[in-house]
């Protein structure tokens, strides 16, 4: 089979130690106004943990320590003609007092801490497809952090 191929995306699950994780609203691209976790493209030849460290630093200014892959989603966006597989990496902040900053304001409205139960309550109208698929496939994700 030739032709189109799926792309690998990575996203960080960064808990605050009190049941909340970092999430932000997309801006200026597909899914504007929908919530997503920090992350991005896995570049060709790049290590998964190196990639998530780079992406989180670029987007939030946070230095993180990736721990393990805790979930994945298979995300097919027919209207965008995109197929992505997203790997979710449980990560810790190097400095637990450091807060996320909006380093790419053209892409994200801002970052905030939300409890997983509050994220799962948002639903289809407020979650970007990979995050929606994560909620559907891992309703008890918070038991992993």
pLDDT digits (tens, 9 = 90+) for 58-115: 999 999 999 999 999 999 988 888 899 999 999 999 999 999 999 999 999 999 999 9
Q: Which residue has the higher pLDDT, 50 or 2?
A: 50
Domain count, the chain: 1
The Cα 141–Cα 88 span in angstroms is 11
The torsion of the CA quartet 129, 62, 70, 37, rounded to 10 degrees, works out to -10
2 part of a folded domain:
no
Q: Which residue has the higher pLDDT, 54 or 80?
A: 54
> What pLDDT score does 102 carry?
97
> What pLDDT score does 1 carry?
54
Structural domain that includes position 131? 7-137
Instruction: Say which CATH number the domain at 65 has.
Output: 3.90.79.10
1 part of a folded domain:
no
64 part of a folded domain:
yes
Band of residue 123 on the pLDDT scale cut at 50, 70, 90: confident
Average pLDDT across the chain, whole number? 95
Nearest Cα to 41, choosing from 1, 82, 79? Answer: 82
SS3 70: strand
> What pLDDT score does 30 carry?
83
142 part of a folded domain:
no
34 part of a folded domain:
yes
Task: For residue 24, give both structure tokens.
Answer: 């932000």
Give the whole-number percent of the chain exceeding pLDDT 70.
99
* pTM of structure: 0.94
28 part of a folded domain:
yes
> What pLDDT score does 79 carry?
80
First and final C-alpha spacing in the chain:
39
Look at residue 141 and tell me whether its pLDDT is greater than 80: yes
Q: What angle do CA 74, 77, 78 make, to 5 degrees?
A: 125
């Amino acid at each position: 089979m030739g032709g189109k191929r799926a792309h690998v995306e990575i996203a960080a699950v960064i808990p605050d130690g009190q049941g909340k994780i970092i999430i932000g609203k997309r801006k200026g691209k597909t899914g504007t106004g929908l919530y997503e976790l920090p992350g991005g493209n896995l570049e060709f030849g790049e290590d998964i943990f190196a990639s998530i460290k780079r992406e989180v630093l670029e987007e939030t200014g946070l230095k993180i320590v990736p721990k393990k892959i805790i979930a994945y989603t298979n995300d097919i966006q027919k209207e965008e003609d995109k197929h992505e597989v997203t790997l979710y990496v449980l990560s810790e902040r190097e400095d637990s007092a450091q807060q996320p900053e909006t380093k790419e304001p053209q892409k994200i409205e801002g970052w905030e801490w939300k409890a997983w139960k509050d994220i799962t309550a948002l639903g289809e109208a407020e979650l970007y497809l990979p995050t929606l698929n994560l909620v559907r496939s891992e309703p008890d994700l918070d038991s992993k952090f």
